[in-house]
Amino acid sequence: MRSNLSDFKVLDVKTSQRREVIDYGVKMVGGPLEWAETKGAGIKVGVIDTGVALNHPDLKTRVKDYVNFTSSERKNVLDDNGHGTHVAGIVAAERNNLGVVGVAPEADLYIAKAFDKEGYAEFDAIAKSIQWMMERDVDVINMSFSAQTADQGYQQIISQAYNQGITLVCAAGNRGDGESADANTIGYPAKFDQTIAVTAVDMNKRRADFSSVGTEAEIAAAGKDVYSCYLDSKYATLSGTSMATPIITGAVALLQAKGVARYKRRLTPEEIRLLLHVYAEDLGTVGRDRKYGFGLFSFGRINKSDYVSRSTPVNMSIAHRNAAVRRNIGMEMMIAAALLIL
């Protein structure tokens, strides 16, 4: 049983990025509005992928531990594909006055290389990666990959991580909307009940044509033309639900950091899910639907203009800082409500 990276597309590569920018996907999710309170410091984020460019200037201080399950060279997580580095950058590229900024730029990254150069992984490598992350007690795991089938062993390892309190964020897949109105093109592990299936939208909050659909669709984020870190200290624009997934993973890291700061404990996966749902901007048909799930998650763009500029300078204006304070107050009430409900 093999998983793959769902035919993500590399659209453009830049050799350098001198001015630090916030990509539209990070802006759309409202990450900068939370940075006045937290940037995700102390939160452990697991990324199962093709490895990472350890010396990338935006990532080299964010990676705290790593392992390779594609060969016997356990400490060789060289990314020879680019996908893993791009995903890691979306989650936690740091603020360092150059390059890009991730959704949670102070979160700690735990990298497991389970996918080869061609973007394929055997289940055994994925299972070992999840187990390794469980042993390190990560808070959230990003899984930007998909398979059309899954066996009992896959279900068991996912359940174990979930029962340990780890939030599991997964790409819905890039198989489009199928040939019939009721087609379900979402793959595993996104299809499991314990995971959060992330679909992709474009800059105008419209469903990306490649984004899979199905009843398991839970939350949407930017996944088309997303700019992040790449190989050889470069930067690239990629498209796929693989890119939308780490945006939600970064948002989960911020939610967990707020939960720890205010409630002195990690929020449960179900508490995280409730917060994602109530902070989602409903798109498509009213209520949860097969394309967007509960809608586009955002800390602060609900009822704002549909258009989001591609990138903005990282410095926050006074108005943005004030907005962040207002949103933080609202988030505190929302988390309290979530804990009360649950």
83 is catalytic: yes
Please spell the DSSP secondary structure of 97-138, one letter per residue: SSSB--SSTTPEEEEEE-S-TTSEEEHHHHHHHHHHHHHTT-
| DSSP for residue 151 | -
Q: What's residue 24's pLDDT?
A: 96
pLDDT of residue 178: 80
Query: At 256, phi and psi to the nearest 5?
Result: -65, -40
Dist. CA 251–CA 58, nearest whole Å? 18
The pLDDT value given to residue 12: 75
Q: Provide the pLDDT for residue 5.
A: 72
Return the CA Rg of the chain: 18
Q: Is the dihedral of CA 312, 317, 323, 329 positive or negative?
A: positive
277 is catalytic: no
Interatomic CA distance for residues 158 and 274, integer angstroms:
20
Q: Which of 83, 108, 202, 311 is an active site residue?
A: 83
In whole angstroms, give the CA distance from residue 185 to residue 216. Answer: 10
Report whether the peptide linkage leading into residue 189 is cis, meaning its omega lies within 30 degrees of zero. yes
Question: d(Cα 64, Cα 329) in Å, to the nearest integer?
Answer: 31
Spacing of C-alpha 269 from chain mean position:
15
Give 13's strand partners: 236
Note down pLDDT in tens along the chain; length 342 residues: 567 775 566 777 877 777 899 999 999 999 999 999 999 999 999 999 999 999 999 999 999 999 999 999 999 999 999 999 999 999 999 999 999 999 999 999 999 999 999 999 999 999 999 999 999 999 999 999 999 999 999 999 999 999 999 999 999 999 999 877 788 999 999 999 999 999 999 999 999 999 999 999 999 999 999 999 999 999 999 999 999 999 999 999 999 999 999 999 999 999 999 999 999 999 999 999 999 999 999 998 544 444 444 554 444 433 443 444 444 445 555 555 454 333
DSSP 3-state of 9: strand
What's the pTM? 0.89
Cβ count within 10 A of residue 256: 26
* Amino acid making up residue 21: V
Catalytic residue among 211, 233, 239, 242: 242
pLDDT at 130: 98
The DSSP bridge pattern shows strands 280-281 and 296-297 to be antiparallel
CATH number assigned to the domain with residue range 2-341, chosen from the 4 options 3.40.50.150, 3.90.226.10, 3.30.365.10, 3.40.50.200: 3.40.50.200
Catalytic: which of 3, 23, 49, 311?
49
Is 242 noted as a catalytic residue in this protein? yes
